[in-house]
């Protein structure tokens, strides 16, 4: 076996749109409308400049809910760019673009191989000198769900690298998206590199000498459930060493949920709150976080949810004039940050503030002290949090597909869970204080 280098991506969702909240001005239309396309174009540029041996796409090239001629033509054009540099593309169809979705689409260029759905297939890969360097196994979804454990039948060839493409949620009991477990993938010693897709967060799940299991993540997030910088992975397989896996930033638009503690605002003044948010926004723009993409490109915009937390007199204004106050802040922040580079586009402002509570009340009342102790205990109690997730899971699930619906509303992650606990504590305290002060 010789060293090989390739790019691994998944979940392009070409044709889908960004959820940015409200009507954005014309000057942002091209940026938001083309972000998903721009991320894939940048990926193809990376493939060419890094002179990779091939490109892997582990499902969901297209977005099933957004069938688009533009997306079809764009994908083919980018693959033609790769063909001019002798780079082949190996792809499987996922749950959002099953093989049934491809009927009627313009066929891709000859350098693209889309695996069939009857069962696992193998495709030999040759380098530019005609030497056999790898064998790729894959099986596409025929329809939006795939209950077969197709990965168990992936086979390798001796003396070369063997790669498995799989679009899975990696849950052994999940009959919608290839029921599989990480233990099953590790047990199949024929496969050196498992190129996974379906989950939208980058994760190197496991690796050892000559082997790895990897999710590349989504190249471009499309809503607050896909927060942070998206991208793909550059992989180098080198005999008798652990695979070298490098994350490549690709997202021209980054979603961020930013907490704004209002405790430092002494007066019930929206101007002071506005100033505080703007200061934190400037800190975001001065941060090196993902500002530099690959190929010298830079992030073009942040789409931000500002989450107001803590206790201050300004909470009274926010509660009393909720719609008017939040609309004032929303419009002011949008107008201010639209001129910055990168742009900060405020998607929404979420009020989770409360009125100040006198320390003497908390210190002298055993009930309040007990609430504080319980809240402190639960904040870092992993066992309780797992139980709570289990209890809330059915309520917060949008259906069998974790990608359906609005992930910001339905996907219960660690950040959302801690916010629920904080809000519950605050609501209990305010209710008890209200009863205490009632005549």
Helix (H, G, I), strand (E, B) or coil at 378: helix
**Which residues, 6+ apart, have CB-to-CB distance to 23 below 8 Å?**
none
The distance of Cα 103 from the centroid of its chain, to the nearest Å, equals 28
Helix (H, G, I), strand (E, B) or coil at 324: helix
Tell me 133's DSSP state. E
Considering only CA atoms, which of 417, 352, 428 is closest in space to residue 381?
A: 417
User: Mind listing the pLDDT tens digit for each residue in 11-25?
Assistant: 999 999 999 998 899
**Which residues, 6+ apart, have CB-to-CB distance to 179 below 8 Å?**
147, 149, 168, 171, 172, 173
How far are the Cα atoms of 304, 346, 347 from residue 330, in angstroms, in the given order? Answer: 11, 7, 8
Question: Cα–Cα distance between 216 and 202 in angstroms, integer?
Answer: 5
Question: What's the token pair of residue 434?
Answer: 């209200």
Q: What is the mean pLDDT of residues 180-195?
A: 98
> pTM of the entire structure?
0.88
pLDDT at 394: 52
Q: Which residues are 189's β-sheet partners?
A: none
Considering only CA atoms, which of 241, 236, 244, 242 is closest in space to residue 133?
A: 236
Number of H helices, E strands in the chain: 11, 15
Highest-pLDDT range among 225-229, 390-394, 417-421: 225-229
Question: Cα–Cα distance between 38 and 123 in angstroms, integer?
Answer: 29
- DSSP letters along 155-223, please? ---TTSEEEEEEE----TT-SSB----HHHHHH-TT-SEEEEESS-S-EEEEEETTEEEEE---SS--S
The distance of Cα 223 from the centroid of its chain, to the nearest Å, equals 8
How many CB atoms are located within 10 Å of the residue 359 CB? 8
Question: Cα–Cα distance between 171 and 253 in angstroms, integer?
Answer: 30
Considering only CA atoms, which of 152, 175, 347 is closest in space to residue 258?
A: 347
pLDDT band, residue 170 (cuts 50/70/90) = very high
For residues 203, 205, 206 and 211, what is the CA-based torsion angle, rounded to 10 degrees?
-60
User: Mind listing the pLDDT tens digit for each residue in 350-362?
Assistant: 999 988 877 666 6
User: Mind listing the pLDDT tens digit for each residue in 264-300?
Assistant: 887 778 999 999 999 999 999 887 655 666 666 779 9
Domain chopping of the chain, boundaries = 4-249, 252-356, 361-439
**What is the phi/psi pair of residue 152, to 5°?**
-70, -20
Site of tokens 């990168």: 342
Question: Cα–Cα distance between 126 and 135 in angstroms, integer?
Answer: 9
The answer to whether the beta carbons of residues 226 and 150 sit under 8 Å apart is: no
Residue 369 has pLDDT above 90, yes or no: no
Question: Cα–Cα distance between 218 and 92 in angstroms, integer?
Answer: 16
pLDDT band, residue 384 (cuts 50/70/90) = confident
What share of the chain has pLDDT > 90, as a percent? 70
User: Mind listing the pLDDT tens digit for each residue in 79-127?
Assistant: 999 999 999 999 999 999 999 999 989 999 999 999 999 999 999 999 9
Mean pLDDT in the chain? 89
Q: Which CATH class is domain 4-249?
A: alpha beta
pLDDT band, residue 398 (cuts 50/70/90) = very low
User: Mind listing the pLDDT tens digit for each residue in 207-237?
Assistant: 999 999 999 999 999 999 999 999 999 999 9
Residue 130 has pLDDT above 70, yes or no: yes
What separation, in Å, do the N-terminal and C-terminal C-alpha atoms of the chain show?
A: 82
């Amino acid at each position: 076996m010789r060293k090989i280098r390739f790019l691994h991506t998944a979940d392009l969702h070409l044709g889908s749109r960004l959820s940015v909240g409200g009507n954005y001005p014309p000057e942002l239309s091209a940026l938001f409308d083309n972000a998903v396309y721009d991320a894939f174009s940048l990926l193809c540029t990376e493939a060419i400049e890094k002179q990779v041996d091939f490109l892997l796409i582990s499902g969901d090239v297209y977005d099933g809910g957004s069938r688009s001629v533009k997306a079809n033509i764009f994908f083919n054009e980018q693959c033609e760019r790769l063909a001019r540099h002798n780079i082949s593309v190996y792809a499987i169809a996922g749950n959002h673009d099953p093989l049934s979705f491809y009927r009627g689409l313009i066929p891709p260029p000859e350098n693209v191989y889309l695996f069939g759905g009857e069962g696992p297939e193998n495709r030999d890969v040759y380098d530019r000198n005609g030497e056999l360097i790898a064998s790729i196994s894959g099986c596409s979804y025929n329809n939006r769900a795939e209950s077969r454990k197709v990965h168990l039948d992936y086979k390798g060839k001796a003396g070369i690298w063997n790669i498995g493409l799989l679009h899975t949620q990696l849950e052994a009991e999940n009959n919608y998206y290839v029921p599989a477990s990480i233990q099953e993938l590790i047990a199949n010693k024929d496969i050196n590199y498992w190129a996974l897709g379906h989950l939208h967060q980058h994760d190197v799940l496991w690796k050892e000498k000559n082997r790895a299991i990897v999710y590349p993540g989504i190249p471009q997030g499309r809503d607050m459930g896909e927060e942070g910088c998206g991208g793909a992975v550059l992989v180098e397989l080198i005999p008798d060493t652990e695979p070298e896996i490098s994350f490549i930033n690709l997202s021209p638009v980054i979603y961020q949920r930013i907490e704004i503690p209002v405790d430092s605002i002494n007066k019930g003044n929206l101007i002071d709150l506005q100033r505080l948010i703007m200061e934190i926004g400037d800190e975001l723009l001065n941060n090196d976080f993902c500002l530099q993409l690959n190929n010298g490109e830079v992030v073009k915009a942040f789409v931000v949810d500002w989450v107001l937390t803590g206790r201050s007199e300004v909470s009274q204004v926010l509660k009393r004039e909720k719609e008017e106050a939040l609309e004032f802040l929303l419009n002011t922040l949008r107008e201010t940050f639209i001129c910055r580079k990168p742009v900060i586009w405020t998607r929404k402002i979420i009020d989770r503030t409360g009125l100040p509570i006198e320390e003497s009340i908390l210190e002298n009342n055993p009930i309040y002290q007990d609430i504080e102790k319980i809240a402190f205990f639960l904040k870092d109690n992993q066992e309780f949090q797992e139980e709570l997730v289990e209890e809330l899971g059915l309520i917060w699930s949008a259906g069998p597909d974790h990608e359906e619906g609005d992930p910001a509303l339905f996907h219960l992650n660690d950040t959302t869970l801690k916010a629920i606990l904080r809000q519950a504590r605050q609501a209990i305290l305010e209710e008890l204080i209200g009863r205490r002060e009632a005549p």
